[in-house]
Amino acid sequence: MIRTLVGVLGALSALFPDKIVKLFEKLAIANPSEGTVRGWVGPAIRSEGVLIAAISLLNGRAYAWLMNLTGVFGAIVFLFPDLYRRFATAFLYERPESIEWNERFRSGIRAIGALYVFLAAKTYLERHNDT
């Protein structure tokens, strides 16, 4: 079930990277019209989506690695949401100093991190209960 969900989300990212960015900005950024996303972000989201969808189809070592990485990323985001915001701003935008985050999205960042950790833990437990 989780593998299917992860694969679908990867496929959606691959098909609609610009819409993913717009949705993120709508939820997370207080002034989305002020920032200019770096030119490589859309193609990177598309590539990541293709990779995630493909790995989700395999359900082997690559999928286990992907879910472990997802859990580690989720833990970092959950524990250090402000660090994530600083990194994401500098990484994604041409003029990071012009970006203002919605303060209420700090809880959203933590919720996403917690969800990633949960999904990774659930996948890990399912994988180890089958053996």
Query: pLDDT per residue over 3-44, tens digit each?
Result: 888 899 999 999 999 999 999 999 899 988 888 999 999 999
Q: Domains of the chain: which residue ranges?
A: 2-129
> Can you tell me the mean pLDDT for 69-94?
94
CB 48 within 8 A of CB 7: no
Burial of 124 (0-12, 13-18, 19+ CB in 10 A): middle
Predicted pLDDT of residue 112 = 93
Which whole-number Å values give the CA distances from 88 to 28, 92, 94, in the listed order?
11, 6, 11
For 87-96, write each residue's pLDDT tens digit.
999 999 999 9
